[in-house]
Amino acid sequence: MSKSKLDLLQGTLDLMVLQTLVSMGPQHGYGIARRIEQVSGDEVLLNQGTIYASLVRLQERGWISAEWGTSDNNRKAKFYSITKKGRKQLAEDAAYWQRLSDVMGRVLAMPGEHK
């Protein structure tokens, strides 16, 4: 796998995690992973394990916070919630993605010269 692709994926995953936390409120790793899979309609092939690298990265940047708690099924789990800083970052990143996807849409909509 080439490096640039991986970077894009990383950034994408971070954004997905942040948005998930905004929409669902505090959530544990498994919950976040499941949610992303559901929303993406299983289009993203996600190794659930990779979510933890993303979580620790976001945590270190101060965009999310973590706390041990108890899950619905009475299991000990670490719950993540988005911070104020994280919300700000999400707004920025979301706007960026929106713009990028608009541009990409326009570029790809250009009539192509078929062979």
Partner 1 sequence: MNWLKLLLQRLRSSFSQSQTDQDLEMEMASHLESAIEDNLKRGMSPEEARRQALIRFGGVEQAMQQHREERGFQSLDILWQDLRYTFRTLRRDPGFTAIAILILALGIGANIAVFSVVNTILLRPLPFHDPQQLVWITGLPGRGGLSSQTYSTDAYKAFVSQQRSYQDVTGYFAFSTSDNTRLLGRGEPLLLSGVLVNGNFFQTLGVQPILGRLFRPEECQKNAPPVTLLSYPFWKRQFGADPDIVGKAVNFDGRSVTIIGVLPETFDFGSVFSPGSKVDTYGPAILDDMEDWGNTLALIGRLKPGVSLAQAQAEADLLFPRLLFSFKHPDWGGNYTGKLSILKEYVSGKLRRSLIVLWCAVGLILLIVCVNLSNLMLARAAARGKEFAMRSALGAGRGRLIRQLLTESIVLSAIGALLGLGLAYGITFYLAHQGSIALPLLSSVTVDGSALVWTLLITVATAILFGLVPGLKMSRSNLQEALKDSGHGLSEGKKHETLRAALVISELALACVLLVGAGLLLHSFLRVLDVDLGFEPSRTAAIKVDFDDSKPERRGAILRDMLQRILAVPGIEAAGIADNLPLDMNRSWGLSAKGKQYKPGELPATFVYVVTPGYLNVMGMRMLAGRDISWQDETGKERVAIINQTAARYLWPGEDPVGRMALVNGMDTRVIGVVADVRESSAETAPGWQMYLPVMQNGPVGAQLVVRTKLRPEVLASSVMATLRSINPAQPATEFRPIQNIVDHSVSPRRFFVSLVGIFAVLGLVLASLGIYGVISYSVTRQTQEIGIRMALGATVVNVQLQVIAKTLRLALIGIVLGAIASFAMARAITSLLFAVQPNDPPTFTSTIVLLTVVAIVAGYVPARRASRINPMIALRNG
- Can residue 57 be called a binding residue for partner 1 (CB under 8 A)? yes
Rounded to a whole number of angstroms, the minimum distance from the CB of residue 103 to partner 1 is: 29
User: What distances in angstroms separate CA 87 from CA 1, 43, 84, 106, one per listed residue?
Assistant: 31, 26, 5, 28
User: What distances in angstroms separate CA 97 from CA 3, 9, 37, 111, one per listed residue?
Assistant: 20, 13, 19, 24
- Can residue 44 be called a binding residue for partner 1 (CB under 8 A)? no
- Can residue 88 be called a binding residue for partner 1 (CB under 8 A)? no
**Which tokens is 41 given?**
């309609």
- Can residue 78 be called a binding residue for partner 1 (CB under 8 A)? yes
- Which residues make up the interface to partner 1 (CB under 8 A)? 28-30, 33-34, 47-50, 52-53, 56-57, 60-62, 71, 73, 75-78
